[in-house]
Structure 1
Amino acid sequence: MITIDFIDDSRVWPPLPPLQSRIESAISCSLMTIKPRLPEYAEAAFIFSDNQRVQSLNLRWRDEDKPTNVLSFASNKDHEPYSPLLGDIFLALETIKSEADEQSKSFEDHLIHLSIHGFLHLLGYDHVYEADGVEMEQLEIKILFQLGIVDPYGLENNRQ
């Protein structure tokens, strides 16, 4: 069983309950797809934040002085065995909104994609190396498909 905590860090987000429900569904779908060996009880936090806060975290922990859409902080860097406290996922409203607009995606679909992306990081998935990035993208596409969300990378259309 996993508990997901939702924290409004900025007070700039739209009403959270509908977003929380969709994120919970996305995380459940992710867990059913991946089937990680989590402890009997696990917990993750989604922090609804803004560009300013995420930029300060990005500078402090990644040495990048710019906002980004999502930042994940896993509690256990080894991921085997998983810690009951999986970690925190920060989501930057302004960046997510502008990316969704630029990419002609719905805000909620983009948010769900980034929530899954951040959650996969908590489970040890990464995209530092190209092969790992491909594996992570394929998992994201598979999970999103099950949720009725189109391939955010446009890869499905490029495979023919």
Structure 2
Amino acid sequence: MSVDVVIEDQRWEAAGLEETAERAVAAALLHLGLEPDAWEIVVMGCDDARIAELNADFRGKPQPTNVLSWPSEERGAEVEGGVPAAPVGDPELGDIAIAFDTCSREAEAGGKPLTDHAIHLIVHGTLHLLGYDHVREGDGDLMEAVEIAILGKLGVPDPYNGSGSAGPIDDGKD
């Protein structure tokens, strides 16, 4: 599998972002019937200041967020609640950025391990790269169900069940 992890904040190095990203991306791709070795994703571990810059540049929101994603192409389903078509051709799926400060704060507030929350955010970002979204209610319901299934396979509790929730994912897709 080709997950290129770029560490801009050394706290991600200590938190094991490289292994976490590889596990999360592989689980998402395998769940959707995609061979992980055939696809490329970049995951950047940064801090709140850097993600706030990116959020301002790409969304016009100059504040930190937990995760951002940039698909290499639009892959969303045309029909609300429909499964996006599997990618074909170009192996580059896109890029994900995850902010240590926000991720850490949310994990602590939700009473969950940082690794579990980071896995959730990376799975979420990977699904965005594959065309899943949550702007429309039906799409959001599908995306949430797919996330829960993937996380369950990784031993990560359902982040949406209300117990230990770290709150909504503010990833630029709303």
Please indicate the TM-score interval, normalised by the length of the shorter structure: 0.7 to 0.9
Amino acid at match of 1:26: A
> Equivalent residue for 1:86?
93
Measure, in 2, the Cα distance between the counterparts of 1:7 and 1:14: 10
> Equivalent residue for 1:58?
55
Asked if residue 5 in structure 1 is aligned to residue 4 in structure 2, the reply is: yes
Amino acid at match of 1:53: R
Measure, in 2, the Cα distance between the counterparts of 1:85 and 1:48: 19
**Paired residue secondary structure (2:2):** strand
The structure-2 alpha-carbon separation of the partners of 1:97 and 1:15, relative to structure 1 and needing over 3 Å to count, comes to same
Is contact 1:37-1:82 (8 Å) kept?
no
- TM-score, with normalisation over the residues of structure 2? 0.80
**Paired residue secondary structure (1:111):** helix
Is contact 1:75-1:85 (8 Å) kept?
yes
> Which region of structure 1 is more displaced relative to structure 2, 41-50 or 76-85?
76-85
Measure, in 2, the Cα distance between the counterparts of 1:102 and 1:58: 23
Moved >4 Å (runs of 4+): none
Measure, in 2, the Cα distance between the counterparts of 1:12 and 1:25: 19
Asked if residue 133 in structure 1 is aligned to residue 140 in structure 2, the reply is: yes
Is contact 2:21-2:43 (8 Å) kept?
no
Give the total of aligned pairs: 153
Amino acid at match of 2:126: F
Amino acid at match of 2:29: L
> Which region of structure 1 is more displaced relative to structure 2, 74-83 or 139-148?
74-83
